[in-house]
Amino acid sequence: MTFNVVLYEPEIPGNTGNVARLCAAADCVLHLIEPLGFSLEDSRLRRAGLDYWHLLTVYLYPSLTALQQRHGGGRFWYITTRSARLYTSVDLRPGDFFVFGRETSGLPEGILTANPDRTLRIPMIDNPAARSLNLSNAVAVVVYEAIRQNQTTIGGRMI
């Protein structure tokens, strides 16, 4: 497995299902931080992930701290609209953790201020009506940039 995708307190089952499908296709581990805004048995979650659930590894944690304690040596990147640093400006490495916040509010300010050198953003045009990208789209952008940087193989084929 190449990269780790972390969803911090996700709220929308369809987004999490889409991210699960992406993780299966890109050989990423999916980490979910509670509380979730839905049940893992939610039919919308299962439908969005199609029949890919058996293809990925999913972990559930009671808090971000629990995840960080379990993977203390890991590099964590916090994806937020409030960062000055672009996601393309750093060397992303296999094993990195990409942490994405809630669909409605992103990552809490406390997490961002505690990790100022580990925040990244995806550029967007300056349009006040467009606050952020859809969660599953943002995950795809970052994961595939990490794959591009590392010339990682998927399904035995170099991409």
Greater pLDDT, 60 or 124: 60
Average pLDDT in the chain: 89
pLDDT at 155 (0 to 100): 57
Secondary structure (H, E, C), the chain: CCCEEEEECCCCHHHHHHHHHHHHHHCCEEEEECCCCCCCCCHHHHHHCCCCHHHCCEEEECCHHHHHHHCCCCCEEEECCCCCCEHHHCCCCCCCEEEECECCCECCHHHHHHCHHHEEECCCCCCCCCCCCCHHHHHHHHHHHHHHHHCCEECCEEC
Q: Are 103 and 11 in contact (CB under 8 A)?
A: yes
CATH of the domain at 56: 3.40.1280.10
pLDDT at 46 (0 to 100): 65
Encode pLDDT of 21-57 as tens digits. 999 999 999 999 999 988 877 676 666 555 777 888 9
Domain span including residue 9: 4-158
- How many domains does the chain contain in total? 1
pLDDT at 6 (0 to 100): 98
pLDDT at 53 (0 to 100): 78
Whether the per-residue pLDDT at 116 is higher than 60: the answer is yes
Mean pLDDT score, 93-117: 96
pLDDT at 19 (0 to 100): 95
Encode pLDDT of 140-155 as tens digits. 999 999 999 998 555 5
pLDDT at 14 (0 to 100): 87
For the entire predicted model, the pTM comes to: 0.90
In whole angstroms, what is the distance from residue 115 CA to residue 117 CA?
6
